[in-house]
Amino acid sequence: MTQKTITFDDATIEKLFGNEAADYENIDRLREYYFKSKIYSRVTADLPLRIIVGHKGVGKSALIRYAMHEDYMNGTLPILIKPDDVVEVAKSNVDFLQRIKDWKTGLSQVIGKKALEDFGIGDNATLQIFTQPGGKLLNLIHDSISGFLQKTGVNIGPTKESIARRFLEKKKIRVYIDDLDRGWAARKDEINRISALLSAILDMCTEYPGLQFRVALRSDVYFLYRTSDESTDKTEGSVVWFSWTNHEILVLLAKRVETYFGRTTPDELEKLPQRDLAKFLLPVMEERFHGAGKWENAPIHRILMTLIRRRPRDLVKLCSLAARHAHERGQSKIYTEDFEAIFEEYSQGRSQDTFNEYKSELPQIQRLIEGMRPTAKEVKEGKGWIYSTDALNKKIANICQQGSFTFSSGTKATPKELAQFLYKINFLIARKDYDSDGLIERRYFEENRYISSEFRDFGYDWEIHPAFRKHLQPENIFSLSRFIALSAD
């Protein structure tokens, strides 16, 4: 098959690498390239409740969109609830039990209305039944849909009719709640509202067999909820931590490239070694990195995996920026100089994303992160990016001397708490060196949430993630490829 030449205009870049926000991704394109990681089957298991916890950009919304599509195809009735649907529900900071009751009433109304409106049953008289107290939610939906289908002349299409008849048979609805952390400010009242929501969902799963919930939460939101009071342990068994391995992200990229060219990817693509997966990238980027330093002649895919924070969105941004630079140079392939040219912009973007994402929990986050910039002495000694636990605590203590830090809860932060916070948000990663081959092991918060415990030393050093370094030290004398070791495969 003749390889078509790529023109890296914006439309092509999005079709090739994907949209940064899954909400706006074309569903047909998403279906082509979506890779079901090991997390997918856990989220879609036939269980009442799954709480999907992960950082922004890991693909929670993409998973939900794909899972909803499969629900439709399998005859399960999926309902998507977004913040606008429940903006006024349980908003008042009242008694906690009353707030749970308000959530149950509000969710019942939203679920009922969305279920019927999806089939074109939207007259006010029918929808009014969900505003009344009492009654069984699934029975009401069942009776409404059954009566609607019995009417003569009704035509809702074969797919929706199949879903409707399957629902009438099994009475199963799967409710997806996404993006609830939009505008999150980490206030006590907001934590209380999330806690009441999850308590209400637990009650509804018990009251209405056949009703299932999938709730997506940012990791920092879940962390604050989980540590808010002792009753939150009831949901711990339903949590699915959404994370990726570098290998899985490389599979995802290979699948995107292959499907863009209209080729069918091999069965069990994820079982191929990385050197074979990297061959799928050759039509769009050169095979090896030709810069100087520790990255010299390294496979390009290893560079990509080192710079991203195991988030697919990081990969989309990195590849898209490099592709645009290649387009400016009139190239139909991404080369080393294209990646080198955009490292600073990529790093600044990841820093700004982090400021925006976590300032609700620590308002002075920008001052803390920019305070981690290497000093002139550290630069001279070739240090400043990797710290022992003691050195890290001293570094942060020095930053605190210039002004204390206070969490949104009102608690003054200690240096150890700030170190744990930086680890939790992926600014810091745990690191071990392997002297034999020059490779290093990097471990993220999602993999071991207790490495940074105040009470034990796990033998790891702490490293500022490579994604942030060009923002902290943009000077020409600093080169990512010269100073940063590559991650192990």
246, 308, 393 from 57: Cα distances, Å = 15, 11, 29
Listing from the earlier edge strand, what are the strands of the sheet with 77-81?
Answer: 77-81, 173-177, 211-218, 49-54, 239-241
The conformation of residue 299, written as its DSSP 8-state character, comes to B
- For the chain, domains (ranges, CATH) are 38-241 (3.40.50), 246-483 (no CATH)
Could you read off the pLDDT of 169-211 as tens digits, one per residue?
Answer: 878 899 999 988 777 777 888 888 899 999 999 999 988 888 9
pLDDT of 4 strictly over 70:
no
The Cα 83–Cα 56 span in angstroms is 16
Q: Is the pLDDT of residue 485 over 70?
A: no
Q: Residues with Cβ < 8 Å from 16, sequence gap 6 or more?
A: 6, 256, 257, 260, 284, 323
pLDDT tens string 273-320: 999 999 999 999 999 998 777 788 899 999 999 999 999 999 999 999
**Summary mean pLDDT of the chain:** 86
At residue 432, the pLDDT reads 83
pLDDT tens-digit series, residues 69-98: 999 888 788 999 999 999 888 888 778 899
Q: Phi/psi of residue 428, each to 5°?
A: -105, 145
* Cα 203 from Cα 208, distance rounded (Å): 9
pLDDT at 452 over 70: no
Q: Grade residue 483 by pLDDT with cuts at 50, 70 and 90.
A: low
Output the pLDDT for position 165: 83
Work out the pLDDT band at 1, boundaries 50, 70, 90. Answer: very low
Q: Which comes out higher in pLDDT, residue 110 or 293?
A: 110
Return all residues near 267 (Cβ < 8 A) that are at least 6 apart: none
Largest Cα–Cα distance in the chain?
A: 82
Residue with tokens 């909820």: 225
Query: Which residue would you say has higher pLDDT here, 22 or 247?
Result: 247
- Confidence at residue 154, expressed as pLDDT on a 0 to 100 scale: 66
In 118-182, which residue ranges form alpha helices assigned H by DSSP? 124-127, 137-149, 158-170
pLDDT of amino acid 305? 92
Dihedral, 52, 55, 57, 63 alpha carbons, nearest 10? -10
Mean local confidence (pLDDT), 260-274? 90
pLDDT value, residue 455: 40
| Average pLDDT of span 411-429 | 92
pLDDT in tens, 320-371: 999 999 999 999 999 999 999 999 999 999 999 999 888 888 999 999 999 9
Q: What digits encode the pLDDT tens for the residues 431-449? A: 887 655 566 788 888 776 6
Residue 462 CA to residue 442 CA, distance in Å, equals 9
Confidence of residue 456 (pLDDT cuts 50, 70, 90): low
Retrieve residue 168's tokens: 């009438």
SS3 334: strand
Task: List the one residue out of 364, 254, 350, 367 whose CA is nearest residue 311.
Answer: 350
